[in-house]
Chains A and B, each alone.
Chain A
Amino acid sequence: MKHLILAASVLAGPAFGAEIWVTNEKDDTISVIDVDTLEVTRTIPTGERPRGITFSKDYSKVYICASDSNAVQVMDPVSGEILYDLPSGADPEQFVLHPDDRHLWIANEDDAVTTVVDTVERKVVAQIDVGIEPEGMAVSPDGKIVITTSETTNMAHWIDTSTLQIVANSLVDARPRHAEFTEDNKRLWVSSEIGGTVAVFDTATKAELAKIHFAITGVNDDLIQPVGFEFTPDMKTAFVALGPANHVAVINMDTYEVEDYILVGRRVWHMAFSPDHSKLFTTNGVSGDVTVIDVASREPIKSIKVGRFPWGAAMRP
């Protein structure tokens, strides 16, 4: 009986709560935040200038763009040990893991290429020439299209993942930094940092459907620099980080209207949801903290100190 109770309690009690992993660009570390207690539980050293971060499908590995180490590092999330480095091309900034859970598509900011890396063979499979200063990366849910946005060419490049060729280029406003497909694969959103807009494309026709503009009372227009964004799973609401405007915009995904602005820390960059999507964690570069937003009430509830210049965020359930 005792054993049974013990076994039951082990099964019932979650040994580890969900976590948000945040890369600290200046500290060369990752801060791990407990989603329930909203406190930093671990700080893990990484390679130089960690930026993009993503987990493998089964969360057994975490991939980190160590930009100044010119490598994608693969870490064991349990021990926090770097297992090995993947070849990544020079200065990897952002990447995206293909739905096949095997290929990483990496933007190499300095070389104007997108590099495809096989994480199993640990080698570069292909390099595709794209515009100047590629940064934002997105993959369609069906895995057929990968997007690279180039910051200086001001384009979103549509890359066919089977032929490894660019099939289309969409012009967007200045300095596109982040791209994301909607879950239903019907829309592609691209944020333009200097342009201060978010463009929405129809994935079938590749035509622009809408362009979202922002205006915050008391904040100068040139401070409104949209970067990272996330969608709620019901595809009703998008949250867009507005950089040095220190706000996150809440957008109605049907009407493309901005419904709200949420005050967060300084220079908000990227964000990640908690597993149940009830909380959103934003990385605030200049203030060196992560603001937690209650998704239902759209209220900021806490800002958590992390390392210097937090950049990327990823959730681990």
Chain B
Amino acid sequence: MRPALTALLAILHREALRFLGQRGRFIAALVRPLVWLFVFAAGFRAALGLSIIPPYQTYIPYETYIVPGLCGMILLFNGMQSSLSLVYDREMGSMRLLLTSPLPRWWLLASKLMAGAAISVLQAYAFLAIAALYGIRAPAMGYLTVLPALFLSGLMLGALGLMLSSFIRQLENFAGVMNFVIFPMFFLSSALYPLWKMAEASPLLHDICAANPFTHAVELIRFALYGQLEPMALLWVLLALAIFGTVALWGYDPARGTLTRKG
């Protein structure tokens, strides 16, 4: 048990160091959702607020609606960013160092995921704090109940990044990830518009959004922020985590020779 913990702490420490070393990354991770909140949402103020959907009990301005989606955005970008760092690690050889540790591979990858999710959660809280200062507040208890939802969603999106990183050969390919993963995932979700609004536009669009695991991460966060549990969203997030995690583990399997092929 002890060596496992040591490995987890070491990986966490390394992630924290990397995070602290890249202050630009922290600011960028915060500025992105804040721009959406202050600029995009302000312009769309009147577009929403004509219907009450759970977990909201009354009419809400668009800014309030968009906050959980922007938390999801932070987690999504961070998940991808950590996948980027894994590709980098692999190119630099530190990945090999990590994976040659005598601990089971799944544990090392899980530690990496947990470390990444912890950093993501911190950033999401920083964002929630700024939003609260701006006047967009959730019930006080919500800030506590949202923690597991943020962490779980962070793990799921991190696992997605991990899975992708096992298939990306070079750092340069990361731009492709941006185009083909981050943007479709974000826009085809309930982050910016509720699903009923999507259904008005096109039923197909609605179905795609409903199948997108990112939608469920956002809804899990949204309900948790109001002290409620959305079981469907939880189920989807757990399922996606299991699938992404398994594929990532398989992708990093030395028997498959991914690393040797690279090395």
Please report A residues at the B interface, Cβ cutoff 8 Å. 217-219, 246, 263-266, 287, 289, 291-292, 300-303
**Beta-carbon contact of A302 and B57 below 8 Å:** yes
Write out the residue numbers on chain B whose beta carbons fall within 8 Å of the beta carbon of A289: 52
Segment at the interface with A among B58-66, B70-78, B123-131, B189-197: B58-66
**Beta-carbon contact of A218 and B59 below 8 Å:** no
Segment at the interface with A among B12-20, B42-50, B84-92, B210-218: B42-50
* Among B49, B57, B60, B61: residue with most chain A CB under 10 A: B57
**Beta-carbon contact of B46 and A264 below 8 Å:** no
Please report B residues at the A interface, Cβ cutoff 8 Å. 45-46, 49-50, 52, 57-61
Write out the residue numbers on chain A whose beta carbons fall within 8 Å of the beta carbon of B45: 217-218
27 sample A-B contacts, Cβ–Cβ < 8 Å, listed by A number:
A218-B45, A218-B46, A219-B46, A246-B49, A263-B49, A263-B58, A263-B59, A263-B60, A263-B61, A264-B59, A265-B58, A265-B59, A266-B50, A287-B50, A287-B59, A289-B52, A291-B58, A291-B59, A292-B58, A300-B58, A300-B59, A301-B58, A302-B57, A302-B58, A303-B52, A303-B57, A303-B58
* Among A218, A264, A265, A287: residue with most chain B CB under 10 A: A218
Which B residue sits closest to A302, measured CB to CB?
A: B57
Question: Given the complex of chains A and B, what is the CA–CA distance between A121 and B45 in angstroms?
Answer: 55
Question: Given the complex of chains A and B, what is the CA–CA distance between A265 and B60 in angstroms?
Answer: 10
Write out the residue numbers on chain A whose beta carbons fall within 8 Å of the beta carbon of B52: 289, 303
Contacts A217-B45, A301-B57 known; list 4 others, CB within 8 Å.
A289-B52, A300-B58, A300-B59, A301-B58
Q: How many A-B residue pairs have CB under 8 A?
A: 32
Which A residue sits closest to B59, measured CB to CB?
A: A263
A-B residue pairs, 10 tightest by C-beta: A302-B57, A303-B58, A300-B58, A218-B45, A263-B59, A218-B46, A302-B58, A291-B58, A303-B52, A263-B61
Question: Given the complex of chains A and B, what is the CA–CA distance between A292 and B57 in angstroms?
Answer: 10
Question: Given the complex of chains A and B, what is the CA–CA distance between A291 and B52 in angstroms?
Answer: 11
| Interface of chain B, main secondary structure | loop
Write out the residue numbers on chain B whose beta carbons fall within 8 Å of the beta carbon of A291: 58-59
Question: Given the complex of chains A and B, what is the CA–CA distance between A303 and B46 in angstroms?
Answer: 19
Q: Give min CB distance, A36 to chain B, whole Å.
A: 15
Question: Given the complex of chains A and B, what is the CA–CA distance between A287 and B59 in angstroms?
Answer: 10
Write out the residue numbers on chain A whose beta carbons fall within 8 Å of the beta carbon of B46: 218-219
Question: Given the complex of chains A and B, what is the CA–CA distance between A264 and B45 in angstroms?
Answer: 14
Question: Given the complex of chains A and B, what is the CA–CA distance between A292 and B59 in angstroms?
Answer: 11
Q: Give min CB distance, A138 to chain B, whole Å.
A: 30
Question: Given the complex of chains A and B, what is the CA–CA distance between A92 and B50 in angstroms?
Answer: 32
Question: Given the complex of chains A and B, what is the CA–CA distance between A301 and B57 in angstroms?
Answer: 7
Which B residue sits closest to A247, measured CB to CB?
A: B59
**Beta-carbon contact of B57 and A246 below 8 Å:** no
Which A residue sits closest to B62, measured CB to CB?
A: A218
Write out the residue numbers on chain A whose beta carbons fall within 8 Å of the beta carbon of B60: 263
Question: Given the complex of chains A and B, what is the CA–CA distance between A265 and B52 in angstroms?
Answer: 10
Write out the residue numbers on chain A whose beta carbons fall within 8 Å of the beta carbon of B59: 246, 263-265, 287, 291, 300, 303
Q: Give min CB distance, B175 to chain A, whole Å.
A: 37
Question: Given the complex of chains A and B, what is the CA–CA distance between A289 and B58 in angstroms?
Answer: 10
Q: Give min CB distance, A250 to chain B, whole Å.
A: 14
Which B residue sits closest to A293, measured CB to CB?
A: B58
Write out the residue numbers on chain B whose beta carbons fall within 8 Å of the beta carbon of A302: 57-58
Question: Given the complex of chains A and B, what is the CA–CA distance between A291 and B58 in angstroms?
Answer: 7
Q: Give min CB distance, A220 to chain B, whole Å.
A: 9
Question: Given the complex of chains A and B, what is the CA–CA distance between A149 and B57 in angstroms?
Answer: 36
Write out the residue numbers on chain B whose beta carbons fall within 8 Å of the beta carbon of A265: 58-59
Question: Given the complex of chains A and B, what is the CA–CA distance between A255 and B60 in angstroms?
Answer: 29
Question: Given the complex of chains A and B, what is the CA–CA distance between A292 and B58 in angstroms?
Answer: 9
Which A residue sits closest to B47, measured CB to CB?
A: A218
Question: Given the complex of chains A and B, what is the CA–CA distance between A219 and B60 in angstroms?
Answer: 15
Question: Given the complex of chains A and B, what is the CA–CA distance between A250 and B201 in angstroms?
Answer: 37
Q: Give min CB distance, B112 to chain A, whole Å.
A: 41
Question: Given the complex of chains A and B, what is the CA–CA distance between A287 and B57 in angstroms?
Answer: 14
Question: Given the complex of chains A and B, what is the CA–CA distance between A266 and B49 in angstroms?
Answer: 10
Q: Give min CB distance, B134 to chain A, whole Å.
A: 14
Question: Given the complex of chains A and B, what is the CA–CA distance between A300 and B52 in angstroms?
Answer: 13
Write out the residue numbers on chain B whose beta carbons fall within 8 Å of the beta carbon of A217: 45
Question: Given the complex of chains A and B, what is the CA–CA distance between A46 and B82 in angstroms?
Answer: 65
Question: Given the complex of chains A and B, what is the CA–CA distance between A137 and B49 in angstroms?
Answer: 33
Question: Given the complex of chains A and B, what is the CA–CA distance between A195 and B36 in angstroms?
Answer: 36
Question: Given the complex of chains A and B, what is the CA–CA distance between A218 and B61 in angstroms?
Answer: 11
Which B residue sits closest to A286, measured CB to CB?
A: B50
Question: Given the complex of chains A and B, what is the CA–CA distance between A289 and B59 in angstroms?
Answer: 11
Q: Give min CB distance, A202 to chain B, whole Å.
A: 36
